[in-house]
Amino acid sequence: MRFLALTAIIAPLLSSCQSSINGAVSSARTGTLVSAAADNLVFTSVTPSQCKPGDVVSLTGEGFLPGMVAWLGDVQVATTYINAESATATVPLNMPLGAIDASISLVNNSTSRSNTVALTIAPVSGTIATLPSDAPSSSQTSTTLNPSGQGSLVTTSTLAVIDAPNFVSLALINDAADGYLNALESTQSHDLVGALVADHYDTVSYKIVDVATNCATAAGYAPTVPQNNAAAFVADGSYKVCVELTNAGSGKTYGASAVIIRDTTAPIVDAGPDRNGSFSFTQVATATDAHTMTYAWTQVSGPGTLTFGSATALTTTISANALGAYVIRLTATDAAGNSAYDELTSTWSAPDPSVCQRLWVALDQS
């Protein structure tokens, strides 16, 4: 009797326990049993909060489970679980260019979604341009955010990443090839620059500026190649030709030629005083200019031939092989090619007989 009484009491309890156990097992199989950790999934921060496509960001919070995934809007991204409080996620490479304000959230086993944390995807190098239907196979397909910049990545289109223009060099040509423009050259309608070495550009514009000017801040670029007589050469000085390169993606790059020195001022030359005598003499001249100069002594006229000891120096000895009057010229030319000259007259005459006599006496006594 006692055994029957105990059985009557215990049986309902066992049945209740078995029912609970069976129910738990059934729920686990059907995926309806949610763990306490999943219910407490909390997303605290993403580091860094500003990144670019391809970057790996760190996620911190509570209740993370193995197999959890991060979502950028409604797009799942590659996620690596570390522990219950940390994980990492990789921002997709096929993101649009330009700054994007988006949000990222976490999901544990497809059952519990966390709060969202803001994430800014910064621009990457280059510019996006939409391609026509016959776009080359090298183009890439990319997804773009909806207009609000938040939530779903909803638009898919064929895009091409266009690198920013790349400037290498701009050659000076014609009169400017030597880096100078002199007085005559400055009046000519000759192109200043020629071969442009660059890539990733569609259009090029030019601007003459003072050598100290930053090409990127200059205004008034024009598509025509500048010439020697451009109005931008307001005075003698140092200049350069800037170029502005653009492409279909509105990217801009600036570059410049080598320095162009505009020098329209000729040297000031003084060949020295006129000379009269019977023997060779040393002539001392002067010349001044803002730049280096070269010199040349030449005979303009005279009955014989002159001999110059240093025909390319300011100071030289001069002698004649015949008596008479000679016109002698010294020409100075500066680095830009401006030149000027000055002349002197020298007359060679027969020596005074008394001088000769005294000379012979001196020779005899020696």
Q: Which two tokens stand for residue 13?
A: 């309890």
Domain boundaries, the chain: 36-162, 166-262, 268-353
**Alpha-carbon torsion 154, 155, 161, 164, what sign?**
negative
What band does 10 get if pLDDT is binned at 50, 70 and 90? very low
Decide if 36-162 and 268-353 have a common fold: yes
264 compared with 103, residue with greater pLDDT: 264
3-state DSSP percent of the chain in helix, strand and coil, to 5: 15, 45, 40
- Phi and psi of 71, rounded to 5°? -125, 130
Supply the DSSP symbol for 260.
E
* 114/184 Cα distance (integer angstroms): 78
Report pLDDT digits (tens) over 20-73. Answer: 333 333 322 222 222 233 457 888 888 988 887 778 999 999 888 888 888 887
Q: How confident is residue 2, by pLDDT bands cut at 50, 70 and 90? A: very low
- Please check the confidence at residue 96 and state whether its pLDDT lies above 50: yes
Check pLDDT > 60 for residue 139: no
On the question of pLDDT at 85 being above 70, the answer is yes
Q: What are phi and psi of 182, to 5 degrees?
A: -95, -170
Q: How far apart are CA 154 and CA 330, in angstroms?
A: 82
DSSP state of 226: P
Integer Cα distance of 63 and 41 in angstroms:
4
- Tokens describing residue 238: 């140092």
Q: What whole-number distance in Å separates Cα of residue 217 and Cα of residue 252?
A: 12
Cα-Cα-Cα-Cα dihedral of 248, 252, 253, 254, to 10°?
A: 120
Give me the pLDDT at residue 281, please: 96
Tens-place pLDDT, residues 301-359: 999 999 999 999 999 999 999 999 999 999 999 999 999 999 999 999 988 666 555 65
Between 102 and 347, whose confidence is greater? Answer: 347
User: What residues are paired with 90 via a beta bridge?
Assistant: 56
pLDDT for the residue 49: 83
CATH annotation of 36-162: 2.60.40.10
Query: Percentage of residues in the chain with pLDDT exceeding 90?
Result: 50
Rounded to whole angstroms, what are the CA distances from 171 to 192, 197, 222, 223, 239? 9, 8, 18, 16, 14
Pairing state of beta strands 155-162 and 127-130?
antiparallel
**C-alpha to C-alpha distance for 276 and 284, rounded to whole angstroms:** 15
How many angstroms separate the Cα of 283 from the Cα of each of 82, 185, 286, 288, 333?
Answer: 93, 33, 10, 17, 19
- Nearest CA among 124, 162, 160, 123 for reference residue 140: 160
Q: Is residue 255 within a helix (H) or strand (E), and if so which, with residue range?
A: strand 252-256
The pair of three-digit structure tokens given for residue 268, joined into one six-digit string:
């000031």
Give the CATH number of domain 268-353.
2.60.40.10
Q: Which CATH architecture has domain 166-262?
A: Sandwich (2.60)
The confidence score (pLDDT) of residue 110 equals 64
